[in-house]
Amino acid sequence: MTTTSARGASGGPATSHGAFLVRLTAIATLGGLLFGYDTGVIAGALLTMPDDLGLTTVQTATVVTVLLLPGAALGALSAGRVADRIGRRTTLLVCGAIFLVGALGCALAPGFAVLVASRFVVGLGVGAAAVICPVYLAEMAPAEKRARIVTINELMIVTGQLLAFAINAGIGALVDHPGNWRVMLGVAAVPAVGLLLGMAALPESPRWLALRGRTEDARAVLLRSRSAAEAERELGEISHLATEDRAAARTSIRSVLCQNPWMRRLVWIGVGLAAVQQATGINTVNYYGTQILANTGLGDQVALVSTIAIGVTSVTMTLLGIWLLGFVSRRRMLLTGFAGVVGSQVALALVFLLPQSTGRSFVILGAMLVFVAFVQCFVGTGVWLMLSEIFPLAIRGFAMGLSVFVLWVVNGGISFAFEPTTEALGSTTTFLLFAAVNVVSLLFVLRCAPETRGHTLESLEEHLRTPVGGVRAVSR
C-alpha cells in the first residue's frame, strides 16, 4: 500500500488511473449536461419564441412537448438496444452528432415545422443520453468509485439546467430582440461538439467488450483505471457472467425474460423507479417555474432571474447527495427523499392559500426550493444510480432503455397535464395530488427497491438472480 501510494504521489499508475477516470467522467457526462440544458432552456425561450414565429397556443405546446414525447421517449427506447449492438461509446458518439444537428436546426429554424423537427431530433439525443451515460459510467467505474462517478451525471444534468436558467436570464437582459431565443437554443451546440470529439478519444466499456468475447480488449480498458490485480479479479467476474449472458444475448429479449423471472422482477422494479422519480413532479418546477412565479405577480424578468435560485439549489443539493452516497445506503436515500417530497409539496400547496403579495411570491419560491432540494439530493441521485446498477449485463441496455422510456412518458404526461390541471383545480389541489402520489411512491420504494451499495456489478447480479438474493438479501 505504501509503495502504491508513493507511486501515485509521484505520477505513477495511481495518478494515471485517477486522471483517466476524471477525463472519462468529464467527457461522458457532457451528455448529462446537454440533457439538462436542452430540457431547461425552453422556459426562457418561451418568453419571445411564440411572438417571434407567430405560434398559436397549440403550436407552442407542441414545441415544448415534442422533445419529451415522442423525442426523448423514442430515443430512450431505442438507445439501449442500439448500445447493446454497437457499444456504449459508439452510441454516445452518435448522441453527440444528434445533439449538434438538433441545436443548429433549432437556432436556424425558419418556422414552426423545422423547429418542431429539430426539437424532436434534440429529444432523441436527450433520451439516448439519459440511458447510455449512466450505463457507460457504471460499467467503466471501479466498484468503490461507482456511486460518485455515476452520480456526477446527475450533477451535470442539474448543472445544465442551471446554465440554461442563467444563460436565459443573461440573454434576456442583454439581447433586446424577439429572436434572442435562437441564441438560447443554439448554445447547446458547444457541449455537443465537446461530447462528439471527447468520446472519440475514450475506449469502449469493458463489460460490452467481454460480452462480445473480446477479453484482451476488456483487460486493456480495465488496466487504465485499476491496478493489475484489481483488473484481473474484476475481469474474472465479468468473464464468468459474460459466458452466461452471451448465450442469453443470442436469444430474444422476450425469451430471456420468460426464462428468468428474476430478470423480469428487476425490469419491473427499474420501470417503477423511473416512474416514481418523475411522479415527484420535479419538472413542473423546471419547465414551468418561470410561469408559476410570474403568475404570482412577479414581472417576467424577475421571475426569469428567480429561477436561477432553482438551478443553484439543484446543483448544491446534488453535490450533497453525491457526498451522502459515500456512506448512506441507496434505499435510505430514496426513503428520506420521498418523505421530504411529500412534506414539502403539502407545504407548497398551503402557501398558495396566502393573500397575494410580493412576499407571498417569494415564500412560494422558498417552498419550491425546499421541494427541489429533497428531489435532487435524495431521489434524483438515488434513482439514476440504482437504474445503472440493478440490471444484468444480458438485458442492461434494453432494461435501461425501457425504464427511461417510461420516465419520459411520465414526464411528458405530467408536463402536458400540469397547466390544464392547475387551471381546473387550482395550485393548492394540484400539489396536494402530487403529495398523495408520492405517498404511493414512498410505499413502492419501501416494498420493492433493492440495496445495491457495496457490490461490484457482477456480485450484485449474483445476489439478485435468486429468490433469496432479492430485495431482502441485499437490503440493509
The number of folded domains in the chain is 1
**CB-CB neighbours of 472 under 10 Å:** 11
Q: Is 399 contained in some domain?
A: yes
Q: Is 270 contained in some domain?
A: yes
Q: Is 229 contained in some domain?
A: no
- List the Cα angle 247/461/402 in 5-degree steps: 75
Of the candidates 446, 432, 421, the residue with the CA atom closest to the CA atom of residue 337: 446
User: What domain range is 89 assigned to?
Assistant: 2-202+251-474
Q: Is 220 contained in some domain?
A: no
- Residue-wise pLDDT tens digits, 243-279: 666 555 556 677 777 877 888 888 999 999 999 999 9
Length of the chain: 476
Amino acid identity at 79: A
Q: Is 444 contained in some domain?
A: yes
Q: Is 221 contained in some domain?
A: no
Task: Give the pLDDT mean for 189-218.
Answer: 90
Q: Is 243 contained in some domain?
A: no
| Burial (CB count <10 Å: 0-12, 13-18, 19+), residue 287 | buried
Task: Give the pLDDT mean for 187-199.
Answer: 94
- The answer to whether residues 237 and 459 touch, using CB atoms and an 8 Å cutoff, is yes
Task: Give the pLDDT mean for 431-443.
Answer: 95
- Residue-wise pLDDT tens digits, 106-163: 999 999 999 999 999 999 999 999 889 988 998 888 878 887 888 888 889 889 988 8
> What does pTM read for this prediction?
0.76
Query: For position 198, which CATH number holds?
Result: 1.20.1250.20
Q: Which residue has the cell 462480445?
A: 212
What does 90-115 look like in DSSP terms, one character per residue? HHHHHHHHHHHHHHHHHHH--SHHHH
Q: Is 232 contained in some domain?
A: no
| Burial (CB count <10 Å: 0-12, 13-18, 19+), residue 58 | exposed
